Chain A
Amino acid sequence: MRRFLIRRLLSAIVIVWAVATIVFFSMRIIPADPAEVVLGEHASAESLAAFRRQAGLDQPLLAQYWDFISRAVVGDLGQSLVNNAEIAPQIWFVLPYTVVLAFASLGVGILIGIPIGVLAAVRRNSWIDLASRCFALLGFSFPAFYLGVALLLLFSIWLGWFPVMHSIRFGTWAEHLYKLVLPALSLGLIQAAYITRLTRSTMLEELRKDYVRTALAKGLTMRRVLFNHGLRNALVPIVTAIGLYAGSSLGGAILTETVFNRPGLGKLLVGAIAQRDYNLIQAGLIVFALVIVAVNLAIDLSYGFLDPRVKHD
């Protein structure tokens, strides 16, 4: 177990390092000159040179790379090209918003997807099965950001239950929660579609297995057979898939944060791209990678608890 942990941790570090390296060099081979982008086409040669010196862009590439990596290791992600502000604090500020949104939407997805999926599998070809399949198909097709727009229209514009444009200040816990509802719902419903379809097909497969018959032969109630035996076994593939969707769910968060004007890593990144703040883009991408790798690590470790047959060695 410990050896497995160390190996997975090492590979996670290597992946983040590789992403950081790729991102760093891609940002420097692009045709655009950051100094020109920031100062404008009409900036003088002197001011351009001064900007480059200040941002360290006049150094040899490898020196810049070493400087970047050695700082990043201790959590220093450099300064914004646009306003010179330290990047790390900005990221620390927005990261919790994205993490909370991701977890909340995952929660919505699980709470809706697993019960419907189980029910659809048990009552195969009933109306609820048909409804679950329509729901899944719609969920696959609705772009999460458009669903966000539709929810905004319905609940904010027409019903007036939620404010249309959020202020960046969030305030109390209740306020946080209040402003989380629509974004989490718009991302979570999409995830629920994936989880529904997956739970249904996995449960159908599990319910055909011999141990289900054994459990029934013991005189257990159907509910116990379904949840303690069927679902318990189905969880392994379900959790795997949730891990795979975790990435795309974070991708959806980029759009959702923009729709709801909600602070977060995605919105920060999109803003940075619009302003061509290459340092901020670079940092944003690396932190995204870090979050995704961490999620995958957590999923890998969870197998040990879900499936005793998995040996971590």
Chain B
Amino acid sequence: MVVSRLRPILEDKGAMAGLGVILLFCLMALLAPWIAPHDPTTQNVRDAFQGPGARYWFGTDEFGRDVFSRVIHGARPALMIGVFSVVLSVVLGMPLGMLAGFVGGRFDTAVSAVVDVMMSFPSLLLALMVVTLLGSAPSMVVLAIGISHVPVFVRLARSSTLVVRELDFVAASRSFGARTGHILRRHVMPNVIGPTIVMATLGIAGAIREEAGLSFLGLGIQPPAPSWGNLIRDGVNAILHAPTLALLPGLVLTASVLAFNIVGDSVRDMLDPHDIAAAAAKRDRAR
């Protein structure tokens, strides 16, 4: 059902461009060691602070490392952390939200209260706290960003479930005594999955941005490993010597976030976030 509704995406030029950019970044991450012209961590102090040119496309940093190669290698942590942290958020958030919406009662009240409080906090702050407590290993960064985005998916799954729960066929199968787990998998999940895909695509954009932010603060991927946030941080520290050092990695970062946002937006248009509301309206009219 979902897949067939995704077909129009092939006709959306913006979305195709976004998908193309994402594919490019995936290839970049996969093939980084083979396509990067230089080693990302080899220092070559004699070539420090070279401007962008034929030999060093994006210039070099204070240790003479090739920024272009570092940007290519930086796609790895960005995409890995972006995707894995969102997967974590979905895996934790979607079942919890579905259950809260379906069961209702005190459980729902408690979950909603915690979600509301967490939502009112900046996710960067939550991520900062987790990283402070658990350290900055890449897996911990995934955990930090993943946890900070859980409330979004809980809330989304919960609100979709609330609507679906009242639909006639679900109410009917409940009255037949179907088990909760069965109803959730069979009837609720297909209706929750669409909006969740949209939110997950946009969530990857947010997670990439957040990883860059954490690394920029020195609390994400630890140097000398290349990450886009680190590169911008290095660039800002050397802004007087080499003004453009931060500029190009930042543009690459923005391009990748933009690509995920464009694709997320057009998937949203495809799936139409109103379709669940429309189903509810149809139900009301039928009564």
A residues near B (Cβ < 8 Å) are 15, 18-19, 23, 26-27, 30, 137-138, 140-143, 145-146, 149-150, 152-153, 157-158, 164, 244, 247-252, 254-255, 258-259, 269-270, 273-274, 281, 285, 288-289, 292-293, 296
Contacts and interface: CB of A to CB of B under 8 A. Distances in A.
B253 interface: yes
B239 interface: yes
A157 B239 contact: yes
Nearest to B114: A18
B97 to A, nearest CB: 18
Given A15-B117, A164-B239, A30 B212 contact: no
Interface in B177-220: 205, 209, 212-213, 216-219
Given A254-B128, A281-B132, 9 more contacts: A19-B117, A141-B261, A143-B212, A157-B240, A254-B217, A258-B216, A270-B128, A270-B219, A273-B128
Contact of A149 (B218, B250, B257, B262): B250
Given A145-B213, A273-B219, A153 B205 contact: no
Interface string B250-284: 10011001100110010000000000000000000
Contacts of B216: 145, 255, 258
Contacts of B232: 145-146, 149
Contacts of A153: 239, 243-244, 246-247
Contact of B250 (A26, A150, A157, A296): A150
Interface of B: 117, 119-125, 128-129, 131-134, 205, 209, 212-213, 216-219, 232, 235-236, 239-240, 243-244, 246-247, 250, 253-254, 257-258, 261-262, 265
Contacts of A289: 121
A146 B250 contact: yes
Contact of B132 (A142, A244, A258, A273): A273
Complex A-B, nearest 9 residue pairs according to Cβ-Cβ distance, in ascending order = A251-B122, A251-B124, A141-B258, A146-B250, A141-B257, A143-B209, A157-B243, A247-B122, A248-B122
B250 A137 contact: no
A164 B240 contact: yes
B31 to A, nearest CB: 25
A250 B121 CA distance: 9
Nearest to A138: B258
20 contacts: A137-B258, A140-B205, A142-B254, A146-B246, A146-B253, A146-B254, A150-B247, A150-B250, A153-B243, A157-B239, A164-B240, A247-B121, A249-B122, A251-B125, A254-B217, A258-B216, A258-B217, A274-B218, A285-B125, A285-B129
Contacts of B117: 15, 18-19
Nearest to B122: A251
A158 B240 CA distance: 11
Question: DSSP majority for the B interface?
Answer: helix
Contacts of B218: 270, 274
A248 B246 contact: no
Given A141-B205, A255-B217, A244 B120 contact: yes
A187 to B, nearest CB: 12
A275 B261 CA distance: 36
A23 B205 CA distance: 28
A143 B123 contact: no
Of B117, B232, B265, which is in contact with the most chain A CB atoms at under 10 Å from its CB?
B117
Nearest to A30: B133
A186 to B, nearest CB: 12
B229 to A, nearest CB: 9
Of B125, B218, B258, B261, which is in contact with the most chain A CB atoms at under 10 Å from its CB?
B125
A293 B258 CA distance: 31
A259 B217 CA distance: 9
Contact of A252 (B122, B212, B239, B261): B122
A288 B235 CA distance: 29
B212 A23 contact: no
A14 to B, nearest CB: 10
A146 B124 CA distance: 15
A205 B213 CA distance: 35
Nearest to A278: B132
Of B131, B205, B217, B257, which is in contact with the most chain A CB atoms at under 10 Å from its CB?
B217
A258 B209 CA distance: 16
Contacts of A145: 212-213, 216, 232
Contact of B265 (A19, A137, A255): A137
B205 to A, nearest CB: 7
Contacts of B254: 141-143, 146
A203 B70 CA distance: 45
Contacts of B235: 149
B243 A158 contact: yes
A254 B257 CA distance: 20
A143 B120 contact: no
A247 B262 CA distance: 24
Given A23-B129, A137-B258, A152 B239 contact: yes
A145 B218 CA distance: 13
Contacts of B131: 273
